[in-house]
A and B are shown apart, each in its own frame.
Chain A
Amino acid sequence: MKRLLALALALAMALSLAACGGPDTPAETGGETTPGAETGAPGETREDLTVILGADFTTLDPQKLPAVADINFCSNIFDGLVALNEDNEVVPKLATSWEPSEDGLHYTFHLREGVKFHNGNDFTADDVKLSVERFRDQSWMQFASFAVDSCDIVDDYTVTINLKYAYGNFINMLWYCAIIDSDYYNSVSEEEFARNPVGTGPFKFVEWTPAQHITLAANEDYWDGAPAMKTITFNFIPDVNTALIAMETGQADMVFGTALSATTFLQAQENEELATDSTVGNSFYFINFNSDRIPKEVRQALSYAVDREVINVMVNEGTGYVGDIPLVEGQEGYTTDITTYEYDPDKAKELLAAAGAEGMTFTFFYGESADNTKLGQTLQSQLSAVGVNVELQPVESGTWWATFGDGDYDISRGGYPMEAANTDSCYYDMFHSTGTFNVSRVHDAEIDALLDEARVELDSERRNEIYIQVNQMLTEEAYFIPLYFSASMLVYDPALQGAHAVSTQNYQYKDLSW
């Protein structure tokens, strides 16, 4: 009997040791991770994290990522030469220092030595050259790489990036350029490369089960110190309600972005077992008039007909930050002097009558999402109050992206992730006649000239003045109805250290611990 008991005890000890995994053996997981948070005995510090993401990825090729959320995710696997910290300052990453040339056309970067990729390869100038050139050539990266001309290797740990023209904001956009391993890239197919990312970042890619989860493991040799979390499982839960339930039942530890809606965030706030945090997000939302089709007078009239506060309530449960211009304090072009059209349905009717546009029907063309459907219905309801009909034309959001450029709509909506430290790329994209996100179809020679001037202007003060001028013109012309900055919301396990809402939703899991 005693022997049996001893055996049982020994077994139990062995099992508990196995469960601990041993604190000094690095978690070289072979893909065997147990999803589900509540593992491990009480009192023991967890080393795993389960995060909910709203959508699966289409690719993990860091230079073909279609969405900001994907870019943010991959910045945990890949490093750039530089990074933006939370105060939106450029900080060194794989480059320890850099200096621009006098004319602002060439940037010389001194690379960090002794950094290794996840596969053991050394990080050198070759990798930077390939990465920067690929960054320049990939169409998805154009928004950040448009000024890049070429990359020269000076020596193994020094490179020079040459620009097409002096671009004051170049260094602010460089963090989008993920550094990839040139040897690895050249040895595998594009498809393999997109499925098995190898970077220098704090986390290594482990496995990807489509539509279910992605697992990352800590890079114990990370140049900036090993992260506290040894494994992170990212579960894809497209439904916000389901995502919240998963949080409540302890299946997951943090959720943000598209997996969280204003409603579920407010529900989470009422739950004492969950911690919540929110801050003003960087995405600004517009209702865009197609200025090719709707004349200025009608645009102004319609602007008076829309109650933006009500839209914020209907779409965001009031969590958004209604704003008159798509900028926050500290950004170039920000001013409190510009206010947009006040809600005044009577004035709207008057102006519509004057413009002879009563009883008109407009199409509202948008990419399907819960928020856009609500926005469409609310807009429809508000405009019908001033006698204007709105016909909803939803398409799948990818289709919207592919086809809005045809301009086959009267009204559409745009949401733009504003660059905290770069007004140029956003404004050029949205309001220049050649911009790729010109949903309002602004074709204004004067605005074009101003934006062109600002792009190559190296003096920040001067740029600020130009953008204020642009803002005034945009408001006067009523190309769009400015709505709000969405809130950047985060729901997490209260025991999670270092978690707080980040404006850009660029969560760095390295900073988290239990």
Chain B
Amino acid sequence: MVKYVIKRILILIPIMLAVSFVVFAILYFNPGDPARIMLGASAPQEAIEQLREELGLNDPFLVQYFRYLSGVLHGDFGTSYRSGQSVFLQIGARFPVTLTLAGLSILVVAVVGVLLGIISAVKQYSILDNILTVLSMLASSIPNFWLAMMMMLFFALQLDILPASGLDDGWRSYVMPVIALSLPPMAEVIRMTRSAMLETIRQDYIRTARAKGLMEHVVIWRHALKNALMPIITVIGSNFGSLLGGSVVVETVFGLPGLGSMVVTSIRSQDVPQVMAGTLFIALIFCTVLLIVDVAYTFIDPRVRTRYLKEKKPRTKKGESEVSAA
């Protein structure tokens, strides 16, 4: 088991390296000359050339990439083209914000989503179930940035009960961003939980459990949920990507100083080192969550666990485990 987890963590390393390569390659094609941006329009051509040489911008692509990579491995994420300051400083200030935002959102998605999904399934065809079904259908179709704007209009402006932006109000600052981010994926989780629960409730062993005279909540929580958890976790994991991507826009709307808003402003100002670092850290959060999801499978489903412990053939290792999990 531990071996498996370690193995998965080790897989993260080449994946992150590859991600860095992909992003670096994309940004390499970014038009615009960092040296000119740094020096301004009035700088003479020789100075620009000199700076290009200093920054190593005239080197071949791969040389530049490996130079960047070795810097990163030494904890040096370069200096911002715009401010000339260490990118690491920015990341240090912004990473916790995005991490908190994403963490809280995924927590809300998982807890509230699963809870509502179970209620919906247990009380199938009730008014509550119908309302939840309709609402979750609507919620999964709301663009999160629009939801953010509407909430800002209502809660900050009309009611004045929540801060409109920034992080000055502690946890209250996170309320609206977290709702904006978590509502659409939560809708998916509600729907998935409902259908997964319904499916398991119909299984024979649940009928048996009921027939044995077990209390209904024990049946639901101990037996049914445990078996329905697999697809639920899958759907949480696969929605985390859009949640994290959404944070890029939502952070911008709420003016939160996170990685997402940094990437947006840096992408516009072609501040490649900042974009690189921001994207890498977001990818790291994403990969870590995917890893946790994968590991969670093995805890929940003994079949997966035994397969991983026994299987030696690596061919169908990754893609399939997730598919067969559904």
Q: Does the CB pair A402–B168 fall under 8 Å? A: no
Per the 8 Å Cβ criterion, residues 194-249 of A in contact with B are 194-195, 209-212, 235-239, 241-242, 245-246, 248-249
Highest count of chain A CB atoms <10 Å: which of B39, B152, B254, B257: B257
Per the 8 Å Cβ criterion, residues 63-94 of B in contact with A are 79-80, 82-86, 89-90, 93-94
Q: Among B84, B160, B262, point to the contact of A194 (Cβ < 8 A).
A: B84
Q: Which 5 A-B pairs have the closest CB atoms?
A: A211-B257, A58-B83, A245-B164, A242-B165, A436-B42
In the complex, A339 has a CB within 8 A of chain B: no
Q: Does the CB pair A398–B82 fall under 8 Å? A: yes
In the complex, B105 has a CB within 8 A of chain A: no
Nearest CB of A to B88, in Å: 11
Highest count of chain B CB atoms <10 Å: which of A57, A59, A195, A398: A398
Interface residues contributed by chain A, number (CB under 8 Å): 41
Q: Does the CB pair B84–A58 fall under 8 Å? A: yes
In the complex, B37 has a CB within 8 A of chain A: yes
Q: Does the CB pair A140–B40 fall under 8 Å? A: yes
A407 to B51 CA separation, bound complex (whole angstroms): 22
Q: Which residues of A contact B42 (CB under 8 A)?
A: 139, 142, 405, 436
Nearest CB of B to A408, in Å: 12
Chain A: CB-nearest residue to B161: A249
Q: Which residues of A contact B262 (CB under 8 A)?
A: 211
Assess A58 versus B165: contact at CB under 8 Å? Given A210-B89, A402-B41, A404-B41: no
Chain B: CB-nearest residue to A437: B41
Q: Does the CB pair A398–B37 fall under 8 Å? A: yes
Q: Which residues of A contact B143 (CB under 8 A)?
A: none
Chain B: CB-nearest residue to A436: B42
Q: Does the CB pair B85–A191 fall under 8 Å? A: yes
Q: Does the CB pair B93–A212 fall under 8 Å? A: yes
In the complex, B253 has a CB within 8 A of chain A: yes
User: Chain A 74-99, CB within 8 Å of chain B: the 1/0 string?
Assistant: 00000000000000000000000000
User: Chain A 394-417, CB within 8 Å of chain B: the 1/0 string?
Assistant: 001011011111000000000000
Q: Does the CB pair B85–A401 fall under 8 Å? A: no
Q: Does the CB pair B82–A249 fall under 8 Å? A: no
Assess A194 versus B166: contact at CB under 8 Å? Given A245-B152, A436-B41, A436-B42: no
Chain A: CB-nearest residue to B90: A210
Q: Among A36, A64, A212, A399, point to the contact of B37 (Cβ < 8 A).
A: A399
Q: Which residues of B contact A398 (CB under 8 A)?
A: 37, 82, 269-270
Q: Which residues of A contact B47 (CB under 8 A)?
A: 139
Q: Which residues of B contact A241 (CB under 8 A)?
A: 152, 164
Nearest CB of A to B176, in Å: 11
What residues of chain A have their CB less than 8 Å away from a CB belonging to chain B?
35-36, 57-59, 64, 66, 139-140, 142, 190-191, 194-195, 209-212, 235-239, 241-242, 245-246, 248-249, 251, 368, 396, 398-399, 401-405, 436-437
Chain A: CB-nearest residue to B156: A245
Q: Does the CB pair A59–B85 fall under 8 Å? A: yes
Q: Does the CB pair B270–A249 fall under 8 Å? A: no
A211 to B167 CA separation, bound complex (whole angstroms): 11
Q: Does the CB pair A59–B83 fall under 8 Å? A: yes
In the complex, B8 has a CB within 8 A of chain A: no
Q: Which residues of A contact B94 (CB under 8 A)?
A: 210-211
Chain B: CB-nearest residue to A250: B160
A316 to B80 CA separation, bound complex (whole angstroms): 33
A194 to B84 CA separation, bound complex (whole angstroms): 9
Q: Does the CB pair A402–B169 fall under 8 Å? A: no
A287 to B157 CA separation, bound complex (whole angstroms): 37
Assess A368 versus B268: contact at CB under 8 Å? Given A139-B43, A245-B164, A403-B36: yes
Q: Does the CB pair A238–B255 fall under 8 Å? A: yes
Q: Does the CB pair B32–A194 fall under 8 Å? A: no
Assess A402 versus B33: contact at CB under 8 Å? Given A139-B40, A209-B93, A211-B262: yes
A58 to B274 CA separation, bound complex (whole angstroms): 13
Q: Which residues of B contact A402 (CB under 8 A)?
A: 32-33, 36-37, 40-41
A237 to B254 CA separation, bound complex (whole angstroms): 9
Nearest CB of A to B18, in Å: 28
Assess A210 versus B164: contact at CB under 8 Å? Given A58-B84, A245-B152: no
Highest count of chain B CB atoms <10 Å: which of A66, A209, A396, A402: A402
Cβ contacts A to B, 19 pairs, < 8 Å? A58-B83, A59-B83, A139-B40, A194-B83, A210-B94, A210-B257, A236-B255, A239-B253, A239-B255, A241-B152, A242-B255, A245-B164, A248-B160, A401-B40, A402-B37, A402-B41, A403-B36, A404-B41, A436-B42
What residues of chain B have their CB less than 8 Å away from a CB belonging to chain A?
32-33, 36-37, 39-43, 47, 79-80, 82-86, 89-90, 93-94, 152, 156-157, 160, 163-169, 253-255, 257, 261-262, 268-270
Chain A: CB-nearest residue to B83: A58
Q: State the main secondary structure of chain B at its contact with A.
A: loop
Q: Does the CB pair A249–B164 fall under 8 Å? A: yes
Highest count of chain A CB atoms <10 Å: which of B152, B167, B168, B169: B168
Chain B: CB-nearest residue to A209: B93
Q: Does the CB pair A251–B168 fall under 8 Å? A: yes
Q: Does the CB pair B40–A399 fall under 8 Å? A: no
A71 to B269 CA separation, bound complex (whole angstroms): 21
Assess A211 versus B261: contact at CB under 8 Å? Given A368-B268, A402-B40: yes
Highest count of chain B CB atoms <10 Å: which of A57, A237, A248, A399: A399
Q: Which residues of A contact B39 (CB under 8 A)?
A: 139
Chain B: CB-nearest residue to A55: B265
Chain A: CB-nearest residue to B258: A211
A64 to B32 CA separation, bound complex (whole angstroms): 21
Q: Among A210, A399, A405, point to the contact of B270 (Cβ < 8 A).
A: A399
Q: Does the CB pair B41–A237 fall under 8 Å? A: no
Nearest CB of B to A437, in Å: 8
Highest count of chain B CB atoms <10 Å: which of A140, A194, A210, A401: A210
Q: Which residues of B contact A403 (CB under 8 A)?
A: 32, 36, 41
Chain B: CB-nearest residue to A399: B32
Q: Does the CB pair B85–A245 fall under 8 Å? A: no
Assess A405 versus B41: contact at CB under 8 Å? Given A212-B93, A245-B157, A398-B269: yes
Nearest CB of B to A213, in Å: 8
A134 to B85 CA separation, bound complex (whole angstroms): 20
Q: Does the CB pair B84–A396 fall under 8 Å? A: no
Nearest CB of B to A365, in Å: 13
Q: Does the CB pair A212–B36 fall under 8 Å? A: no
Q: Does the CB pair A210–B41 fall under 8 Å? A: no
Q: Which residues of B contact A210 (CB under 8 A)?
A: 89-90, 93-94, 257
Given A251-B166, A405-B42; 18 other pairs, CB 8 A cutoff: A59-B83, A64-B84, A139-B43, A139-B47, A142-B42, A194-B84, A211-B261, A237-B255, A242-B254, A245-B152, A398-B269, A399-B32, A401-B41, A402-B32, A402-B33, A402-B36, A402-B37, A402-B40
Nearest CB of A to B264, in Å: 10
A431 to B172 CA separation, bound complex (whole angstroms): 52
Chain A: CB-nearest residue to B82: A58
Nearest CB of B to A51, in Å: 13
Chain B: CB-nearest residue to A245: B164
Q: Which residues of A contact B167 (CB under 8 A)?
A: 212
A401 to B43 CA separation, bound complex (whole angstroms): 11
Q: Does the CB pair B166–A235 fall under 8 Å? A: yes
Q: Does the CB pair B156–A249 fall under 8 Å? A: yes
Q: Does the CB pair B89–A246 fall under 8 Å? A: no
Assess A59 versus B41: contact at CB under 8 Å? Given A249-B160, A368-B268: no
Q: Does the CB pair B93–A211 fall under 8 Å? A: yes
